[in-house]
């Protein structure tokens, strides 16, 4: 079965670390690393 790891920041969150983490995880460099490990990277949705 396919396994998904959804990530999101809640609308009322003020945590700057969360925003920075999501930006990092959604980067092209991170996508390449995930693909290297066999993950399928989906486009972020808003």
Query: Whole-model pTM?
Result: 0.68
Distance between CA atoms of residues 12 and 27, nearest Å: 23
Q: Which residues contact 15 (CB under 8 A, 6 or more apart)?
A: 9
Instruction: Look at residue 30 in the predicted model and tell me its pLDDT.
Output: 93
Instruction: Look at residue 6 in the predicted model and tell me its pLDDT.
Output: 86
How far does CA 38 lie from the centroid of its chain?
15
Instruction: Look at residue 3 in the predicted model and tell me its pLDDT.
Output: 84
Instruction: Look at residue 46 in the predicted model and tell me its pLDDT.
Output: 66
Instruction: Look at residue 24 in the predicted model and tell me its pLDDT.
Output: 93
Per-residue pLDDT for the chain (46 aa), expressed as one digit of tens each?
A: 788 888 889 999 888 899 899 999 989 999 999 999 988 888 777 6
């Amino acid at each position: 079965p396919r396994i998904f790891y959804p990530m999101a920041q809640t609308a009322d969150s003020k945590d700057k670390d969360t925003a920075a983490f999501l930006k990092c995880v959604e980067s092209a460099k991170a996508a390449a690393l995930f693909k290297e490990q066999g993950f399928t990277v989906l486009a972020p949705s808003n």
